[in-house]
Amino acid sequence: MHIRTVVEQLGYSPNEALVYLAALELGGSATTEIADKVKLPRTSVGLIIETLHKKGLMNTYLVRRRKVWVAENPEKLLITLHEREAALKVVLPQLQLLRRDTGAKPTIRAYSGVEEIKQVMADMIEAKHHLLAIVSWDDWVELLGRQFLDDFIETRQRHYLKIRMLAPRTKLSLSLKEKDREQMRVTQFLPEFATIKNSNFIYGNKVAIISLNKKRPTGVLIEDEDIHHTMEVLFESLWRESSGA
């Protein structure tokens, strides 16, 4: 998995991860030098550095009256993670008391924007169930980026999670199918009448429906056994109508 992606998953924004890693590589550096390294405006980098300083990931000192920034030891990331975990464990009993789970009605969560959509992908891994997917693969790559999807596939493999995927037949999806065996996947191509512009995932007792609107992608995650079963039946019906070549 890409180092920057790992840092982001610890709760830091993409630019915070970028600036921290650049400072780590440069050693003691001025804001201007870090800005040149990450190719972001100096003022923006200055604000990011101040944020990282407050979070304990950057420190500063003077060299001949020149302010120099240095990234903290990467072990600080692990320490911060343990501190957050300890804090959560303290309040977890109260959180459990607040939770009302009758088991009678579906749980529905909405997600908006690319970063929140990535949270849905993380939930698929955490659920630890094999996946069924109907995906507009070209649009999916454009939305999330090749690097993120490669990291997701790698993580899915490490957790031994298989996937059966239906996708429109395109150059990208044909190329993806060539790696089916090594990536624990079976890909089939949708019939011509089944034109899709979104992505759907069925796993555990959940269904994720994700709109790939470029301006504001939106996802809905439904946790309900009956809805999951219905979507599974529809998937299997469409699977029988699809082609593996």
pLDDT at site 60: 85
Query: Mean pLDDT, 10 residues at a time, over the chain (245 residues)?
Result: 77 87 86 90 89 86 81 82 80 74 74 90 92 92 90 92 92 92 92 84 93 86 91 91 81
Q: Which residue has the tokens 């998937």?
A: 235
Backbone angles phi, psi at 79, to 5 degrees: -60, -45
Backbone angles phi, psi at 169, to 5 degrees: -80, 110
CB 20 within 8 Å of CB 1: no
103 vs 97: CA distance, rounded Å: 16
pTM: 0.57
